[in-house]
Chains A and B, each alone.
Chain A
Amino acid sequence: MPRLLEAAAFLLALAAIGGVAPAAAAGGLFPFPVHEKVLANGLKVVVIPFDSPGIVAYYTVVRTGSRNEVEPGHSGFAHFFEHMMFRGTERYPAERYNDVLKALGADSNAFTTDDWTGYYIVASSAAVEKMFEIESDRFQNLRYTEAAFKKEAGAVLGEYRKNFSMPFLALFEKVQDTAYTTHTYKHTTMGFLADIEAMPTRYDYSLKFFDRFYRPENCIVLVVGDARPEATFALAEKYYGSWKRGSHVVSIPAEPPQTAAHEASVPWANPTLPYLAEAYHVPGFSTTDTALPALDLISEHLFSESGTLYKELVIDKQWVDLLQGGPDQTRDPGLFNILARVKEPDRVEEVTTRIRAALDELKTTPVAAERLAQVKSHHRYAFLMGLGTAPSVARRAAQYLQLAADVGAIDRVDDLYNRVTPAEIQAAAKRFFVPENRTRVVLAQKQEAKS
């Protein structure tokens, strides 16, 4: 069966399980109907019915992440603030809020990225009104003492400490800090350690942060699962209707073009194989430009388990035991990150040379049409196979809501992938994989630690 028909059959099968009306975006990649309403205060509410009997996933998407941390000394604040959102309100102090979640038997948590902050509750659909009540309450009426604020700073420092025992945080801290000069992507979402340690002194700033970003026009409520759209919209109106619109506009400095290759190193105190990271600046998310999809297809073509570079370095030569590569999907221009763990420290330069040669080869030799079709098939099936539960559908939909405020962006971006030609892959390689656009960082064990 041709791949396209195969995918269509898969979509129909999924829709049949759901027992729902055919997808609103018939023929698109996203197989479920999407219902939307925008309240008068600007809050967008999205409902995606999905066959998960008795279960809903309730997401609040805040379109603010570490990208918004424009003031010096405040890196990591969006993530810290995510923690503060669990410190309660007058009506639902933290303990009472937790008691409600416990009574619901809910899976509930939150996460922060460069571009957005996500809050979720997965629990019984019978409790959906209670979810609206407690979530709308904390998003409008958050209240915490300065003492509680300071205690939470300890938890955030603990999170940094737990992450720092692995090399990845230190490595990517250095990659971002080296690759960017101006844009807030210069720091990780976790933030610089000095800023995290200073957090207990930032209580007043935290009030300002809430006032700026936790506003209806900057948030989206998403309900996926055993939910009826009209009833859900009525609950949204009831609980969020009085939320006051904000006015803050953040000005994020644009990153100027890189003009020369950057190099940096991270000495590591513990035994480790060397990690080689190379990063190239690439465009931000778009629903009209094929550059980012072309780069993503390059990542599959070279770095996936069936990739040509993976076969060379991991399977045939066995110089590397971990190889990954791919572009960020971020609102502003991000990085195409390549990561290799090299088995012999002396081979770091050879591995670097081979990775660059593979990227250069893309500029001169077009990817075979058959291979490109395989890569596109994998891309499509992998997306669809990740849509098996209400939380997994919500997570995918939320990513596009934060990027474009529209689940329909999934289909528009899929259309871009379908349009990518071997010539566009060549053009993307020529445009982005050039030395002056590159940052290389090597993390390796300190010599004295070895001895």
Chain B
Amino acid sequence: MTGRGLLMLSLLMLGAIAVAAPAGREGGSKPALRLLASDTPIVSFRILFRTGSQDDPPGQEGITALAARTVAEGGTADLPYDEVVKRLYPMAARLGVQVDTEMTVFTGEVHRDHLQEFYRLFSGLLLAPRFDAADLERNRDLLLNQLRNSLRGNDDESLGKAVLNGALFAGHPYGHEVAGTVQALEKLSLADVKGWYRSRFHRGRLTLGLAGGYPDGFQERITSDFAALPDGDAAPPVLPAVRAPEGITITIAEKPCIATAISIGLPLNVNRSDPDFYALLLATSYLGEHRTFNGVLMNQMRGVRGLNYGDYAYAEKFREDGGSVFPASNIAQRQQFWSIWIRPLAHDNAHFALRQAVRELDRLAQRGLTAEQFETTRAFLLSYSRLWTQSLSRRLGFLLDGDFYGVAPLGEELARRLPALTLDDVNRVVRKHLQARDLHVAIVTPEGTKLLAALIADQPSPIHYQAAEGTPEAVLAEDREIERYSLKVNRTASRVVAAADLFER
């Protein structure tokens, strides 16, 4: 990790929570409310709607993202965007939006001295959005640039993940980028976006998350104010079954780049509501805990062989929470996937690295964990997960995700379930849900056709060390096994696409 004069835009992290949270939920005609009271001088909001890109109608992909952005980065009925920004500025308050597949969360954080003034602006944006045409265009341009330039051209790791998501959920409401498609975004009108916000961001899909040092009576005020939103159908769209790949199914996005990025995934019919998830999380942490040297992948691929910067595995959709290595909240999904992330490596090591990662998955699926591996990983997760909720905003996010899945926040579930887990539980779950035969693989590389042909041919692919001298004989012997590890590529389902053509429609 390096940095120069960094202007870190880190999310506000809050201190200790002095008062245990009397969490409550109110029903009836009022919106759902979740509270975490605390003595801190900061007040944190998470205004969450169960509306996400899964709701985008065909041909209007991106409408949820564009509507939510235009609301959060627009004006109120009384004030244009620049005036809202000007008034927020001296408070150093934060206001943002995160749109994801199943949910959209509007976030706000402010010192309680400014709470009333901040809340007037924040609630004004959400309850009486201005929808200026200029705000729509500014936000549309940002989303278009994200698709046309950032993803297609300038962020190969994100491109690999987007291609993997597209392959896993082809023909499914999760299958398109949250930002949408170029052609759909270009066609959306102000009337479309206004209508979409009014019809999909309603009380039936709303949970108000409030945390920190808010004054007495504030929760009643916010509940009453947001009751003014129209009511609507709370049911999310019915999701079709996700089709599993047959064999190793490869999608290569071809573009100029100096290194090859790889993501591997498989559909998973397990999420946090399922007891199996917690055993799977433990086994996945053992294989490749994000940004740590705990995992087998990190140690074997980076540590022993110097192939790249990092290699990790995930038991559910994962994104780093800004400024940390911890999991972001409010990206929950009913249908999940399991994945491996191989960070960019030299083109001539791509085949070897893919073989090595799939082989390690295969070994885990076949052998499971040993008692020692199980115990050390369990102890790690029990302590490490305590660090995820150092800030109040994160605690609130995990609380809302717990509601989504019908369980307690993730850290609490781990604290409750891990001590009761046994090695047999974990290895049973590994055998049930993990395998290395039928996988989606997404690759970003400049010579895609050549690489796909090599993958299909399944000939040995020796590692190319930057400096081979001194490599222990045991490692070289294992290299010879890895370079011959057979990947049964599904040649009819695998394909090469030009990165420049992706996300168009």
A and B form one complex? yes
Interface residues of A (CB under 8 A from B): 1, 3, 6, 9-10, 13-14, 16-18, 50-55, 79, 86, 94-95, 98-99, 101-114, 122-124, 145-147, 150-155, 157-159, 161-162, 164-167, 172, 188-190, 197, 200, 268-273, 304-306, 311, 314-316, 318, 321, 324, 326-330, 334, 337, 341, 343, 374, 377-378, 380-382, 385-386, 388-392, 449
| Residue from B6, B12, B380 within 8 A of A386 (CB atoms) | B12
Question: Chain A contacts of B377 at CB under 8 A?
Answer: 102
Contact B384 A150 (CB under 8 A): no
CB distance from B146 to the nearest CB of A (A): 10
CB distance from A368 to the nearest CB of B (A): 13
Contact A105 B4 (CB under 8 A): no
Known: A157-B466, A315-B82. A272 touches B2 (CB 8 A): no
Contact B113 A145 (CB under 8 A): no
Number of inter-chain CB pairs below 8 Å? 278
Type the 1/0 row for B1-33, where 1 means its CB is closer than 8 Å to any CB of A: 111111100101111101000000000000000
In the assembled complex, the Cα of A254 lies from the Cα of B472 at a distance in Å of 45
CB distance from B92 to the nearest CB of A (A): 4
Contact A305 B89 (CB under 8 A): yes
Among the listed stretches B198-206, B221-229, B238-246, B253-261, which one makes contact with chain A, having 4 or more residues with CB under 8 Å of it?
Answer: B253-261
In the assembled complex, the Cα of A166 lies from the Cα of B256 at a distance in Å of 12
Question: Chain B contacts of A200 at CB under 8 A?
Answer: 466-467
CB distance from A169 to the nearest CB of B (A): 9
In the assembled complex, the Cα of A326 lies from the Cα of B4 at a distance in Å of 12
| Residue from A98, A99, A108, A189 within 8 A of B2 (CB atoms) | A189
Type the 1/0 row for B382-411, where 1 means its CB is closer than 8 Å to any CB of A: 111111001100000000000000000000
Contact A315 B138 (CB under 8 A): yes
CB distance from A295 to the nearest CB of B (A): 12
Contact B14 A103 (CB under 8 A): no
Contact A188 B4 (CB under 8 A): yes
Question: Chain A contacts of B257 at CB under 8 A?
Answer: 165, 270
Interface residues of B (CB under 8 A from A): 1-7, 10, 12-16, 18, 39-42, 81-82, 85-86, 88-92, 94, 109, 111, 113, 134, 137-138, 141-142, 145, 148-149, 152-157, 213, 255-259, 261, 291-294, 299, 302-310, 324-326, 343-346, 376-377, 379-387, 390-391, 465-467, 469-472, 500
Contact A391 B390 (CB under 8 A): yes
Contact B2 A113 (CB under 8 A): yes
Q: Which of A103, A106, A150, A318 has the most CB of B within 10 A?
A: A150
Contact A158 B259 (CB under 8 A): yes
Contact A321 B145 (CB under 8 A): yes
Contact A158 B155 (CB under 8 A): no
Known: A52-B390, A188-B4. A392 touches B138 (CB 8 A): no
Contact B4 A114 (CB under 8 A): yes
In the assembled complex, the Cα of A315 lies from the Cα of B135 at a distance in Å of 8
Contact A53 B16 (CB under 8 A): yes
Known: A9-B113, A385-B42, A389-B14. A113 touches B82 (CB 8 A): no
Known: A151-B303, A334-B5. A105 touches B376 (CB 8 A): no
Question: Chain B contacts of A165 at CB under 8 A?
Answer: 154-157, 257-259, 261, 344
In the assembled complex, the Cα of A188 lies from the Cα of B291 at a distance in Å of 23
In the assembled complex, the Cα of A157 lies from the Cα of B3 at a distance in Å of 16
Question: Chain A contacts of B39 at CB under 8 A?
Answer: 16-17
Contact A102 B40 (CB under 8 A): no
CB distance from A74 to the nearest CB of B (A): 15
25 pairs from A and B in contact (CB 8 Å cutoff): A55-B387, A102-B376, A102-B379, A105-B379, A107-B326, A109-B291, A111-B3, A146-B469, A150-B466, A158-B307, A161-B308, A166-B154, A166-B155, A200-B467, A270-B257, A271-B154, A273-B145, A306-B85, A315-B138, A318-B141, A326-B5, A374-B90, A381-B111, A388-B42, A389-B390
CB distance from A401 to the nearest CB of B (A): 16
Contact A377 B4 (CB under 8 A): no
Q: 20 other contacts beyond A334-B5, A374-B89, A385-B12, with CB at 8 A cut-off?
A: A52-B16, A103-B380, A105-B380, A105-B381, A150-B467, A155-B308, A159-B2, A159-B309, A162-B308, A165-B259, A189-B2, A268-B153, A270-B153, A270-B257, A272-B149, A304-B89, A337-B5, A389-B390, A390-B390, A449-B256
CB distance from A317 to the nearest CB of B (A): 10
Question: Chain B contacts of A197 at CB under 8 A?
Answer: 466
Contact A112 B383 (CB under 8 A): no
Known: A111-B1, A124-B383. A10 touches B149 (CB 8 A): no
| Residue from B40, B154, B307, B380 within 8 A of A17 (CB atoms) | B40
Residue of chain B at shortest CB distance from A113: B3
Residue of chain B at shortest CB distance from A150: B467
Question: Chain B contacts of A152 at CB under 8 A?
Answer: 306
Question: Chain A contacts of B261 at CB under 8 A?
Answer: 162, 165
Question: Chain A contacts of B134 at CB under 8 A?
Answer: 315, 318
| Residue from A107, A164, A306, A314 within 8 A of B384 (CB atoms) | A107
Question: Chain B contacts of A104 at CB under 8 A?
Answer: 383
Question: Chain B contacts of A151 at CB under 8 A?
Answer: 303-306, 467, 471
Contact B138 A10 (CB under 8 A): no
In the assembled complex, the Cα of A337 lies from the Cα of B6 at a distance in Å of 11
Contact B149 A271 (CB under 8 A): yes
> Top 9 nearest A-B pairs by Cβ distance?
A105-B383, A154-B306, A147-B470, A270-B153, A381-B92, A161-B259, A328-B5, A158-B308, A150-B467
In the assembled complex, the Cα of A79 lies from the Cα of B4 at a distance in Å of 12
Known: A105-B383, A154-B465. A389 touches B3 (CB 8 A): no
Question: Chain B contacts of A150 at CB under 8 A?
Answer: 306, 465-467, 469-470
Residue of chain A at shortest CB distance from B135: A315
Question: Chain A contacts of B42 at CB under 8 A?
Answer: 385, 388
Known: A147-B471, A158-B259. A315 touches B309 (CB 8 A): no
Question: Chain B contacts of A155 at CB under 8 A?
Answer: 302, 306, 308-309
Known: A14-B15, A161-B258, A343-B141. A55 touches B308 (CB 8 A): no
Question: Chain A contacts of B380 at CB under 8 A?
Answer: 102-103, 105
In the assembled complex, the Cα of A107 lies from the Cα of B321 at a distance in Å of 14
Question: Chain B contacts of A164 at CB under 8 A?
Answer: 258-259
Residue of chain B at shortest CB distance from A167: B154
Contact B382 A105 (CB under 8 A): yes
Residue of chain B at shortest CB distance from A123: B383
Contact B2 A79 (CB under 8 A): yes
Contact A10 B111 (CB under 8 A): yes
In the assembled complex, the Cα of A167 lies from the Cα of B156 at a distance in Å of 11
Question: Chain B contacts of A382 at CB under 8 A?
Answer: 92
Known: A154-B305, A318-B134. A112 touches B2 (CB 8 A): yes
Question: Chain B contacts of A305 at CB under 8 A?
Answer: 85, 89
Residue of chain A at shortest CB distance from B385: A105
CB distance from B446 to the nearest CB of A (A): 9
Question: Chain A contacts of B4 at CB under 8 A?
Answer: 113-114, 172, 188-189, 328
Contact A162 B5 (CB under 8 A): no
Contact B153 A272 (CB under 8 A): yes
Question: Chain A contacts of B343 at CB under 8 A?
Answer: 158, 162
| Residue from A10, A108, A147, A388 within 8 A of B113 (CB atoms) | A10
In the assembled complex, the Cα of A273 lies from the Cα of B13 at a distance in Å of 33
Question: Chain A contacts of B3 at CB under 8 A?
Answer: 111-113, 189
In the assembled complex, the Cα of A268 lies from the Cα of B381 at a distance in Å of 43
